[in-house]
Structure 1
Amino acid sequence: MSSDLRLAPTSGRRAAMVDRLMSSGALTDPLLRDALLRVPREVLLPHAYVRVSGPGADPIDWRLLDGSHPDDREEWLDLIHSDDSILLQRDGEPLGSLPRGPVTGGHMTSMSTFTPATVEGLQDLGLAPGRRYLELGPGPGVSLALAATVTGAGRAVGVERDGPMAAFARRNLDRLGVGATVVEGDALAGHEHRAPYDRIHSGIGVPCVPPGWVEQLACGGRLLTTLTTRTPSWPGQLLVTRADSGRIDAVLRGRPRGYRPMLGYAWLSALDHRARIEADPGTARPTRLAPPADDAYGFWLAAAHLAPGLVRDFQAKTMTIVAPEDDSWAVAGPGDRTVRVHGRRDVWAELETVHALWVRAGHPETYRVDLSDGTGIQAVTSGTGPTALTWSLPRLPALPRPRGRDTHPSTSVEPTDSK
């Protein structure tokens, strides 16, 4: 890395960001700490969109901050060194020279992961000098740059489906001189040319594990990805390890946040139903199921798969679960043992059933995923025996060939309370 970038005047902001991460307990790895101090984020995130419109607005009003403009610089620097996700690209647009100021319409197709989640993922992988690293869906390349700084020049490569984003990340990473490579291609196929990899990190959520990812994982290697469903509310984090013997082990756990899903896997939203639910929450009925705790991640993960098509409105006053495609919902309350339900689908009854199965299985917080089935079916189980909680992951959908403006929202993590 060139000395002018290492000694950039924003190094004080980087130090403050690192201190904040360490004080919160999110950052514990000294190698990653040094990388965060060395990599100037302003090179990788030279602009940022700020949403001006409130929830539900269509079209959406944005404001683009240009980091090189004196009127935007302080706000932009504060933003890119904050814990927020940085919005970078609307509708797969080219990123060479975006005009600053107000703009209307479009939806974000790429953004950076907010820093605590980046730190968590890279620490779970256990980076070290000399390890071969593959990033799937690197977006602007923030985590790729950090990984390259730790592993060493020539050891880290990213595969980005979106052409304009791949070119943008490649250009900015070259400026940093960390020795990372970005290739344009289908991240679901991995990157066989440089395989095998000691560490594989996916910046996109997938419904199941693409077989190429596992095949390209070296003995002693780790693979980390989000297993996504159509709900953003209850994601799962999958850690795959390959032992020195070649044996594959995959552990799935519920998490409060996860990466956005791959192209062709649109998330459901409760937003369009919010006003109707507030006006008429539904018919009250008794229930034995008190609202499960937000951090009962093992239960909510099971619900995402066994009661599909549900999404939670985290901004509602009481727990509200919506099946938007069935025009149905459930609202906890008004009493401790009552719930209000509406629509042809009894959403709360489905959650009662899943909860009973989860309790019967022993309140599992982690699940095993069998990636070795010769049929291609990836089965999830909480254990063995007749009371184990089980389900199968859906297969990967067929995708169109990559094009410059045919994108997935890459490299982004959304906390569940932001919906």
Structure 2
Amino acid sequence: MALDLRTATSRRRADMVDRLTADGVLTDSLLRDALLRLPREILLPHAYVRVSGPGADPIDWRLLDGSHPDDRQEWLELIHSDESILLQRNGEPLDALPRGPVTGGHMTSMSTYTPATVEALQAMELASGQRYLELGPGPGVSLALAAAITGPGLATGVERDGPMAAFAQRNLDRLDVGAEVIEGDALEGHEARAPYDRIHSGIGVPCVPVPWVEQLAPGGRLLTTLVTRTPSWPGQLLVTRSASGTVEAVLRGRPRGYRPLLGYRWLNALDHRARIKDDPGTARSTPLTPPPDDAYGFWLAAAYLAPGLVRDFQAGTMTIVAPEDDSWAVAGPDDDTVRIHGPRDVWTELEDLHTRWEEAGRPEQYRVDLRDSSGAAQHVTSGAGPKALAWMLPPLAAVPRQTP
């Protein structure tokens, strides 16, 4: 790599780290050092940029090639930004991708945007000497950072996509951090190197796969996103195993989470946007002021206890859609007014759930019972007593298996 490019990328990394620190996202000194040391441009040598607007089909893309002078500045800005980096279309091989415009297909692999990566790795409380397992590492950004902290030979990734696994391993070898990517089913973990002190899943799952818990060492921490059919209100699950072997799991609502594993289909509000604009529904008064976006405990409960809803975050006022019921609720323009459309009264469900959430003590976190070794029933509760909010996680068996 030319000297001027090395200098430019080094400055970009320093600026990225300074920004994350100033925003209060990055607080761990070991992770800060790893971010400064590792040249992420080796792991992210290209990036797709979406050209088409929302709803376009087929989608128009443009591939930036970091080695091409005409793409370099835009590529450098993108891979050091807080954006997710789109890397693979339709499971394609990743050698010698042609730069420039391309039409059609959907993204099958991407890197998580950096603030989310930093938050997840800090929650893992990484330290030197720990055995680390990354499930669904994609291009290997978080795997490389973890390996830089834990030490060579201790960090392993399991990636179902063969071309992506080979791509990540080749680039990780160039970094010489001593991390290995295994092609396989992430839902099975990687028993050959178990147990692990830290397990991090880069894919969202509806419930916790039993092998992940079984492969967690005493004193270990496991972090994953729990997904529902709505992308609007994700949950982050932290599982810990005590030195004596006792397992505890805590679920919290988060503003963002990882995409679901292959075969899991999200609902979306996009197809209803034009109809809602033309006919927002019948107005009525409501005692429920639209809950704030950061009422994560409430919205997480809504994902499970008012299923089938998805929010249109691009709407001018809070708009929540039940796509499969052809129903929606549009709050406002005043706090005591809501418009309702369709056979399902979405807002009444949220009013009732909000009352239950308040009676339960406005919980912001929930306990998850993982003791059922079959994985068929994982119970979530906000606490004890008749007013506690509770639900069951859906079984993993409903999701198609990931085969390499």
Alignment TM class, shorter chain as reference: over 0.9
Which position in structure 2 is the counterpart of 1:76? 75
- Counterparts of 1:46-195 in structure 2, within 5 Å, are 46-195=45-194
Structure 1 residue 335 displacement after superposition = 3.0
Which position in structure 1 is the counterpart of 2:263? 264
Deviation sequence 1:28-87 (CA, Å, 0-9, x none): 111101100111011000000011111111111110000011100111011101111101
Which position in structure 2 is the counterpart of 1:197? 196
Sort the Cα spacing of 1:58 and 1:276 in 2 relative to 1 into closer, same or farther, 3 A: same
Query: What is the TM-score with the length of structure 1 in the denominator?
Result: 0.93
Whether 1:242 aligns to 2:241 is yes
CA contact (8 A) 1:92 1:162 kept: yes
- Counterparts of 1:302-321 in structure 2, within 5 Å, are 302-321=301-320
- Counterparts of 1:320-399 in structure 2, within 5 Å, are 320-373=319-372, 376-396=376-396, 397-399=398-400
Q: Distance in 2 between matches of 1:121 and 1:86?
A: 17
Structure 1 residue 373 displacement after superposition = 2.9
Sort the Cα spacing of 1:72 and 1:374 in 2 relative to 1 into closer, same or farther, 3 A: closer
Q: Distance in 2 between matches of 1:37 and 1:102?
A: 32
Gapped runs of 5+ residues in structure 1? Answer: 404-419
Deviation sequence 1:269-296 (CA, Å, 0-9, x none): 1111101000000111222111111110
Deviation sequence 1:156-199 (CA, Å, 0-9, x none): 00000111111110111111110000001000110000000000
Which position in structure 1 is the counterpart of 2:206? 207
Q: Distance in 2 between matches of 1:8 and 1:148?
A: 24
Q: Distance in 1 between matches of 2:98 and 2:333?
A: 50
Q: Distance in 1 between matches of 2:214 and 2:230?
A: 28
Q: CA RMSD in A?
A: 1.5
Deviation sequence 1:239-260 (CA, Å, 0-9, x none): 0000001000100000000000
AA partner of residue 96 (structure 1): D
Query: What is the TM-score with the length of structure 2 in the denominator?
Result: 0.97
Q: Distance in 1 between matches of 2:198 and 2:163?
A: 26
The structure whose RCO (Cα within 8 Å, separation 6+) is larger is 1
Q: Distance in 1 between matches of 2:283 and 2:157?
A: 52
CA contact (8 A) 2:264 2:399 kept: no
Structure 1 residue 334 displacement after superposition = 3.7
Which position in structure 2 is the counterpart of 1:417? none
AA partner of residue 377 (structure 2): I
Question: Does the residue aligned with 1:10 lie in a helix, a strand or coil?
Answer: helix
Structure 1 residue 10 displacement after superposition = 1.6
Whether 1:286 aligns to 2:285 is yes
Structure 1 residue 267 displacement after superposition = 1.1
Deviation sequence 1:314-354 (CA, Å, 0-9, x none): 01111000011111100002432221111111111111121
CA contact (8 A) 2:262 2:402 kept: no
Deviation sequence 1:286-318 (CA, Å, 0-9, x none): 221111111100000000001111000001111
CA contact (8 A) 1:235 1:255 kept: yes
Question: Does the residue aligned with 1:14 lie in a helix, a strand or coil?
Answer: helix
CA contact (8 A) 2:160 2:402 kept: no
Gapped runs of 5+ residues in structure 2? Answer: none
Question: Does the residue aligned with 2:301 lie in a helix, a strand or coil?
Answer: helix
Question: Does the residue aligned with 2:272 lie in a helix, a strand or coil?
Answer: helix
Q: Distance in 1 between matches of 2:320 and 2:204?
A: 22
Aligned length: 400
AA partner of residue 385 (structure 1): G
